[in-house]
Amino acid sequence: MAVNIYAFSDEADGTLEGQIAALKANSLDGMEIRGVNGKNVADLTPAEAVEIKKRLDGEGLKVWSIGSPIGKIHIEKDDFKAHLEVFRRTLDIADILDARMFRLFSFYLPHDKAPSDFKEEVLERMGRFAELGRGHSVTLCHENEKGIYGENAVRCFDILTAIPEIKGIFDPANFIQSNQETLEAWELLKPHIQYLHVKDALADGSVVPAGKGIGNLAHIVREYLNMGGTSFTIEPHLKVFSGLASLEQDGHRTLPGVYEYESNRIAFDAACAAFREVLAD
């Protein structure tokens, strides 16, 4: 079975050329596009999207998914109507880029109210996303994220069962940061999962390379592959030791900690290598 590995390549470099170089050096199939040349994917113009597609095609790479910020607004404080217009424009960009997936979220909630108070409104809004997404090239995919309605397994299940058109992205590190045990979440959600974000974490929430945390990544990856899953997006989120340069003097080299890296590109390469090790198991 062919495995397709993509990445949030903006974590390697901000420019399209740098992202292409990082993807090719790590033998990846393409990107989950989030930021490029100083712009978020939701802010790209159609002309810019055409140029990105042309450049990637020439390198044998693709945009697998739109790593959009859709749904990352406050459910009470922000303007949903205006947000829907951003969604519509980003769907058009997805079509130009020939993306297959479209990542979205389920709204930040107030800290002083029960999440259950917002269930119906969240489902109504997610249903609106699904309605607008029909006729476009993408499958809409909800990602679990700390602080949103769908931060734990049960509330993700609410969304994915109420609106079957929306599939799930499973992010182990985000569940850990939300105090959700990952195997419990996987057992509940796996029939609804479209693909995985490769990100692991320690109990304190610190993100570490795949297989180095408590996310049970090897088990989840193995089951996902056995279910016929084929696609992964590497999302490094690894710590770059920004103070390194100031500590280097007299020809001596100061090395960062075991999961801290000297540059974004080195961190990106380390995340890719770690996932290859997980797959090799």
3-state secondary structure (DSSP) of residue 143 = strand
Residue 252 confidence (pLDDT) above 70 = no
Q: What's the pLDDT at 258? A: 74
- Which pLDDT band, with edges at 50, 70 and 90, does 254 fall under? very low
Residue 118 per-residue DSSP state = G
3-state secondary structure (DSSP) of residue 40 = strand
Q: Are 41 and 66 in contact (CB under 8 A)?
A: yes
Looking at the DSSP bridge assignments, the partners of residue 86 are none
What separation in angstroms does the CA of 261 have from each of 34, 138, 186, 268?
22, 35, 30, 9
How many alpha carbons lie under 13 Å from residue 166 in its C-beta half-sphere?
A: 29
Residue 271 confidence (pLDDT) above 90 = yes
The more confidently predicted of residues 264 and 248 is 264
Mean pLDDT over residues 148-171, rounded?
A: 98
Q: Are 144 and 175 in contact (CB under 8 A)?
A: yes
Q: What's the pLDDT at 256? A: 53
Residue 140 confidence (pLDDT) above 50 = yes
> What are 81-133's pLDDT values in tens digits?
999 999 999 999 999 999 999 999 999 999 999 999 999 999 999 999 999 99
Domains in the chain with CATH codes: 4-280 (3.20.20.150)
